[in-house]
Amino acid sequence: MTRILTILVPVLLASFHAAPGHAEVAEANATAARATVERFYAVLLEVMRRGEELAYEERYARLDPVVQQVYDLPFMSAKTLGRYWKGLSEDDRGRWISTFTRLTVSTYTDRFDEYSGQRFEVLNAEPARYETIMVRTRILPVDEEPVELDYRLRGADGSWRIIDVFMNGTVSELALRRSEYSSVVKRKGFESLVSSLEEKIASR
């Protein structure tokens, strides 16, 4: 027995020290989530700075890849429809994900089309509910009050991706969209919702 313990104890101690602790894992996850938002802001700022020389289609082409990389758009698409998602066919689910994705990219393309000295500041990243991470940021316009934007991210496929955005720390974009879209589906049906968003995308 003494010989077995002599062999096992050093091995067990080595394994214990080699395994990352909870705090280390949490810190690594927070760093990765923060990097996701920083990467998105870097591309967004670069597009804004070139806003005058880039046409809408060119800005869209530059933003589309990074938006799809940093946002978990399939997850968000399902959540925005609430209980109506379960009733969709596979084809309609695919159509909805495509429409929601294009709407998201077109919204950024339309709203962030010029640069006047704004800065994006990533403040911190901290654990949140349901094994997510909240990355707190703010936009600093010139001669205007800062705008607080907080991003909720979840781990998916080995990376951290955005699943919600909070304006001023309280207003959930995902909750607003779910309320709006579910109401349209209830009153007018799924096809009406898709048509209305397609019109909005085409008008930009």
Looking at domain 2-202, its CATH class is alpha beta
Structure tokens at 26: 């949490």
Structure tokens at 127: 């654990």
Q: What is the largest CA-CA distance in the chain?
A: 79
Bridge partners (DSSP) listed for residue 172:
166
pLDDT for 3-58, tens place per residue? 443 443 343 334 434 445 778 888 999 999 999 999 999 999 999 999 999 999 99
Which is nearest to 70 in space by CA: 141, 137, 146, 22?
137
What pLDDT score does 14 carry? Answer: 40
pLDDT for 122-132, tens place per residue? 999 999 999 99
Count how many Cα atoms sit within 13 Å of the Cα of residue 17 in the half-sphere of its side chain.
Answer: 5
pLDDT for 70-123, tens place per residue? 999 999 999 999 999 999 999 999 999 999 999 999 999 999 999 999 999 999
Q: Which pairs from 171-176 meet CB under 8 Å and 24+ separation?
A: 174/76, 174/79, 174/80
User: Would you kindly state where each structural domain of the chain is located, as residue ranges?
Assistant: 2-202
- State what percent of residues in the chain have pLDDT above 90: 82
Q: List all residues 6 or more positions away from 133 whose beta carbon is below 8 Å from its beta carbon.
A: 29, 30, 33, 125, 126, 127, 152, 153, 154, 160
Distance in angstroms (rounded) separating the CA atoms of residues 132 and 130: 5
With beta carbons less than 8 A apart as the criterion, state whether 96 and 77 touch.
Answer: yes
pLDDT for 146-170, tens place per residue? 999 999 999 988 899 999 999 987 8
